């Protein structure tokens, strides 16, 4: 009987040693996994800055302006390929995913959550930029309420605060004047009145124009405007890596 007890004691001791060794191995693997995750996160967040303490669509963030020349160089390559839709999708993705530690715009349910300095405000795609997948066609303004909504869309502010510096950097490139007319027109539409896109003689694209003038211009450039807004929407909705590659 004593021999059996001694044997059981040896088995319990061996099991305890195995358990201790296994626990130590698990802790080591977990520590290694945490360290690897930390390194990946640090590499992923390298060069990124915290979200600003102001409305992210309405304020030009000087901390990311050093990226404009690189974005402009990519824009020139998209321009030579005459791909304005792909450029805007790529640009919006770069801005929303690669500049800040957290995304300025996230998407949940059926609306975007826009960082406004201290919290996120909900905007539907139609309210944000005038794009709706279910209404995938050009829409003229039918009444004063629609005109008021059109002029106050936050994405016009984004065009000025975020996109214009890159466009200005492109203008400084020697071959800028050689870019296709449609490519430049599409980019100028995103910049609202600051783009100085002359739609008719002495009538320039500006969301703050009167409703009759806006409808007149929308009938001419509405398709391009709609495609640009859809491209921006697509850039905001990307999950994972960007599907658009910069042309060679």
CA distances 149 to 17, 146, 211, 234, Å, are 71, 5, 11, 22
The CB-side HSE value for 29 (13 A sphere, CA atoms) comes to 6
Domain definitions of the chain by residue range:
1-46, 62-237
Query: Rounded to whole angstroms, how far apart are CA atoms 149 and 56?
Result: 20
Q: Give pLDDT, residue 180.
A: 98
Judged on CB neighbours under 10 Å (0-12, 13-18, 19+), 225 is: buried
Give the mean pLDDT per block of 10 residues along the chain (248 residues): 74 80 78 63 73 97 97 98 98 98 95 96 94 74 95 97 98 97 98 96 97 97 95 95 96
Query: Rounded to whole angstroms, how far apart are CA atoms 218 and 205?
Result: 9
Rounded to two decimals, the pTM is 0.84
């Amino acid at each position: 009987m004593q021999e059996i007890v001694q044997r059981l004691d040896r088995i319990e001791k061996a099991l305890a040693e195995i358990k201790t060794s296994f626990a130590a191995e698990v802790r080591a693997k977990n520590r290694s996994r945490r360290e690897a995750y930390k390194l990946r996160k640090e590499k992923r967040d390298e060069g990124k800055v915290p979200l600003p303490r102001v409305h992210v669509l309405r304020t030009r963030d000087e901390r990311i302006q050093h990226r404009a020349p690189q974005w402009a160089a990519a824009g020139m390559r998209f321009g030579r390929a005459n791909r304005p839709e792909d450029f805007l999708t790529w640009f919006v993705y770069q801005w929303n995913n690669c500049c800040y530690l957290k995304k300025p715009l996230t998407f949940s349910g059926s609306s975007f959550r826009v960082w406004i300095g201290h919290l996120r405000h909900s905007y539907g795609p139609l309210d944000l930029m005038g794009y709706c997948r279910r209404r995938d066609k050009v829409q003229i303004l039918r009444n004063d309420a629609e005109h008021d909504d059109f002029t106050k869309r936050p994405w016009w502010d984004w065009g000025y605060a975020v996109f214009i510096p890159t466009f200005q950097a492109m203008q400084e490139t020697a071959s800028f004047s050689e870019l296709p007319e449609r490519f430049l027109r599409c980019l100028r539409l995103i910049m609202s009145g600051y783009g100085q896109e002359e739609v008719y003689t002495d009538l320039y694209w500006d969301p703050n124009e009167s409703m009759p003038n806006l409808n007149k211009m929308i009938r001419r450039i509405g398709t391009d405007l709609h495609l640009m807004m859809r491209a921006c929407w697509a850039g905001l909705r990307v999950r994972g890596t960007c599907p658009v590659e910069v042309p060679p």
